[in-house]
Amino acid sequence: MAMEILTGKNIRTLIILSVSLAAGFAISRFAPEGLSGAGRVTLGIFTVAALLWTLEPFPLHVTSFIIVALEVVFLGRAGGPLGFSGNQYGIFLEPFFNPVVVLFLGGFTMANAVKRYGLDERISRMILRRVGSRPNTVLLGMMATTAFLSMWMSNTATTALMLAVALPLMRPFAPGEPFRKAIILGIPFAANIGGMGTPIGTPPNAIAMGILDSMGISISFTGWMIRGLPLVIALLFVSWFVLCRIFPAETDSIDVNIPDEEESLGVKSQFILYAFAAVIILWLTSSYHGIPSSIVALLPIILFFGLRILDDEDFKDLGWNILIIIGGGMSLGIAMKESGLSTWIVGLIPFEGIGLLSVLFIFAFSAAALTTFISNSATANLLIPIAVGIGTVQPMTSAVVIALAASAAMILPVSTPPNAIAYGSGQIDVKDMAKSGAIITIISIVAVTLFIFLLF
Amino acid sequence: MTIKKEEGRESARIEHCPSCNSVLTKNNIYFCRGETPRVYVECAECGIFVARYALISYTSDKSYESLLRKMRFTRANSGKRTMKMIEGFETSVKKEFEHVLELVKTDEDKRHVEDIIAEDYSNEED
């Protein structure tokens, strides 16, 4: 039995875990003066989280559970450094089912229903039928469809769907046709960008909202879209333009060849679309009717599972791992705030001498740089709790800038799952992605920072 | 990449017709939106019903395209893990196919398929 568990892979996992815990312990013991006991412990936990989320010895959600366990044992236990008693340690567990997590759960349910009944494919076909046959407009249509779907569905699922649609279109291309690369790259880039558009588009958005929520600052569904959607549209056009310039089409037309005839929509599919529309309307109008977005998100869960449109298997597939990662990040944020660690870290950086815009650029650049190598959720989990503590910048501004910049991960295949999927097609190499992705990432950092700084 | 499994943990079996014992079968796949697809296996010799499988995962000879289909239902969060999964997928499917053919040739499990499932998997169902 021991041999079954102590495989080479697991031994490596245990070594990384041990080294991370030892590093966390050492940091907490030898932290510089001026940090409280609770702050030192939290710095140690933050170090463990940063190492585990970066090195990924196991799935990212496992790290979230480790964070909570460390927080409760070393910080929140009765008589611990935070001075908690009874079950006050519950503040570290609450983020796992807070309003933002419920909002995401509702989003996941809607996305599962749409996928289960093939409505996503139908939507993609509906849009692609209208893009004509000019290569550049086909690419724009592909990217716009991808971005639209990824605002509501996972970026990974959207990329997988759209690449499956795109691959047959490219079969008639000559082997060296550069435009092939434009299509393969345009899809993951559009998925990454589309995720910025709604609170449920990608986990960093939820992490930002959740951390702000824990500080008593709420941002509505519409409020997020007002910030995210213009950026999605602008960055989509920029990415399209960059790809068309770097990988110009050598053919005059592409045969999109999508049959005009569709089977008529079944009753359940129609019901899903009506429910989807109703939920989005309720999300966008929550300031009028007063029902919080997270409670609106319960509607698809109750309707789809209650009326057996989705079943237990779909419930198991609801992306619980993502919710746990989001919860772990927020829980870490709470520990950093309660222990005074975020204030202490911010105090170390001389932000007073730097202008507000420069501070935001530093955050956006740090988020984009970090997310190139580690997951965008981990990036948001590590940076947002620090950034929101800076007195000179509105917490909402810094959190939103970091969350949006964390989606600007276009440079390497390992930067995001959509990039990895596109790279896995074998149609592009790392150089192709790095060349176009670096330009788009830099433009994204500038656009996100300036847009949020100037308009909000 | 070689396939190494603990001895006694794996076995393979060719489906036989319960009536004529033929190993020639036809897979009739039934799809109904909202339900798990099901494979109805028909004896290619005598045409009788052999077995029914529920299909939870499908990989064709174009494994990248099959992987894309699979990934439509996943919510990955790590680019590194996704890369590893994609890199390993194609090779592992082909290697396992060869391994199963070898296993069937050299050490076919003689039990009925339902017995193998009942005896070897019943504890893992819970």
Q: Are A81 and A226 members of one domain? A: no
Residue A221 covered by a domain: yes
Nearest-CA distance from A226 to chain B in Å? 25
**Is B77 in contact with A60 (Cβ distance < 8 A)?**
yes
Residue span of the structural domain in which B46 resides: 12-56
Closest chain B residue to the Cα of A416, Cα to Cα: B79
Q: How many independent structural domains does chain A possess?
A: 2
CA distance B51 to chain A (A): 23
Nearest CB neighbour to A268, from listed B34, B70, B73: B34
Tell me: do B74 and B120 sit in the same domain: yes
Distance CA B50, CA B114 (A): 12
Query: Residue B50 domain-assigned?
Result: yes
Contact A115 B73 (CB under 8 A): yes
Among the partner residues B71, B77, B79, nearest to A160 by beta-carbon distance: B71
* Residue B26 and residue B44 in one domain: yes
**B38: closest CA of chain A, how far (Å):** 15
Based on the domain organization, do B24 and B65 belong to the same domain? no
Kindly indicate the confidence band of residue B124, based on its pLDDT and cuts at 50, 70 and 90.
very low
Q: Tell whether A443 is covered by a domain.
A: no
Nearest to A372 by CA among A426, A327, A430: A430
Give the nearest chain B residue to A120 (CA atoms): B72
Q: Is the dihedral of CA A132, A133, A134, A138 positive or negative?
A: positive
**B104–chain A nearest CA distance, Å:** 25
Is the same domain home to A45 and A130? no
In the listed set A316, A341, A356, which residue is the last one of a domain according to the structure? A316
Residue A329 within any structural domain of the chain = no
Structural domain that includes position A78: 1-92
Quick one: angle between helices B79-107 and B63-71, nearest 10?
120
- Choosing from A60, A75, A92, the residue where a domain stops is A92
A30 and A156, same domain (yes or no): no
Contact, A76 vs A84, CB < 8 A?
yes
Asked if B31 has any chain A CB less than 8 Å from its own CB, the reply is no
Do B36 and B89 share a domain, yes or no? no
Give chain B's length: 126
pLDDT given for residue A51 in this prediction = 95
Q: Which of residues 80-99 of B touch A (CB under 8 A)?
A: 80-83, 86-87
Half-sphere exposure in the Cβ direction for A367 (13 Å, CA)? 35
**Residue A451 within any structural domain of the chain:** no
| pLDDT computed for residue A175 by the predictor | 75
A317 and B81 within 8 Å at the Cβ level: the answer is no
Q: Which pLDDT does position B7 carry in this prediction?
A: 59
The verdict on a CB contact (< 8 Å) between A412 and B79 is yes
Chain A residue nearest residue B65, CA to CA: A164
If asked whether residues B65 and B111 sit together in one domain, one would say: yes
Domain identity same for B78 and B120: yes
For residues A42 and A39, what is the distance between their CA atoms, to the nearest angstrom? Answer: 5
Closest residue of chain A to B6, computed from CA coordinates: A4
| Residue A206 and residue A88 share a domain | no
pLDDT at position B126 is 38
> Complex ipTM, two decimals?
0.84
Domain match, A176 and A259 both: yes
Domain assignment of residue A363, yes or no: no
Kindly state whether residues A117 and A221 are assigned to the same domain: yes
Distance from CA of B98 to the nearest CA of A (A): 23
Does A276 lie in the same domain as A135? yes
Q: What is the pLDDT of residue B4?
A: 55
Question: Are residues B78 and B115 part of one domain?
Answer: yes
* Residue A135 falls inside a structural domain: yes
> Residue B107 falls within a domain, yes or no?
yes
B69 and B125 share a domain? yes
Q: What is the pLDDT of residue A88?
A: 93
Set of chain B residues whose Cβ sits within 8 Å of the Cβ of A154: 74-76
Taking CB atoms and an 8 Å limit, are B77 and A322 in contact across chains? Answer: yes
B34:A117 CB<8 A: yes
Residues on chain B touching A161 (C-beta within 8 angstroms): 68, 72
B44 and B67 both lie in a single domain: no
Asked which of A92, A113, A143 is the last residue of a domain, the reply is A92
CB distance B78–A117 less than 8 Å?
A: no
Computed over every residue of chain B, the mean pLDDT equals: 84
CA distance A161 to chain B (A): 6
User: Smallest CA–CA separation between A247 and chain B, in Å?
Assistant: 23
Closest chain B residue to A108 measured between Cα atoms? B75
| Closest residue in chain B to residue A201, using alpha carbons only | B75
Are residue A114 and residue A198 in the same domain, yes or no? yes
A409 with B79: Cβ contact below 8 A: yes
DSSP H helices, A129-254, are 135-150, 155-170, 179-194, 203-214, 221-246
The count of other CB atoms within 10 Å of the CB of residue A359 is 21
Contact B74 A157 (CB under 8 A): yes
pLDDT of residue B1: 44
Tally C-beta pairs within 8 A across A and B: 100
pLDDT tens-digit profile of B66-104? Answer: 888 888 877 788 999 899 888 888 788 888 899 999 999
| Cβ separation B65–A59 shorter than 8 A | no
Same domain, A14 and A81: yes
Look at B80 and A414 and tell me if their CB atoms are within 8 Å.
Answer: yes
Chain A residues whose beta carbon lies within 8 Å of the beta carbon of residue B77: 60, 203, 321-322, 325, 375-377, 417
Indicate the residue type of A238. Answer: V
Within 8 A of A157 by CB-CB distance, chain B residues are 71-75
Res. B114: pLDDT tops 90: no
C-alpha triplet A263, A269, A273: angle, nearest 5°:
120
In sequence order, what are the residues at sequence separation of 6 or more whose Cβ sits closer than 8 angstroms to the Cβ of residue A393?
Answer: A351, A356, A359, A360, A387
- Give me the number of domains chain B comprises: 2
Q: Is the residue at B1 inside a domain? A: no
pLDDT-derived band at B111, boundaries 50, 70, 90: confident
Residue A444's closest CA among A376, A383, A350, A355? A376
Question: Could you tell me the pLDDT band of residue B5, with boundaries at 50, 70 and 90?
Answer: low
Residues of chain A with pLDDT below 50 are none
What token pair was written down for A330? 């927020």
The residues pairing with B43 across neighbouring beta strands, listed in sequence order, are B25
In a domain, B4, yes or no: no
Residues A193 and A266 in one domain: yes
d(CA A369, CA A405): 9
Pick from A120, A161, A421: CB nearest B82: A421
A264 and A154 belong to one structural domain: yes
Of the candidates A116, A154, A426, the beta carbon closest to that of B75 is on A154
Q: How far is B68 from chain A (nearest CA, A)?
A: 5
Asked if A163 lies within 8 A of B78 by C-beta distance, the reply is no
Are residue A138 and residue A106 in the same domain, yes or no?
A: yes
| pLDDT tens-digit readout, B27-67 | 999 998 778 899 999 999 999 999 999 988 888 887 888 88
User: Per the CB < 8 Å rule, is B83 touching A4?
Assistant: no
Q: Does the distance separating the beta carbons of A164 and B64 come in below 8 Å? A: no
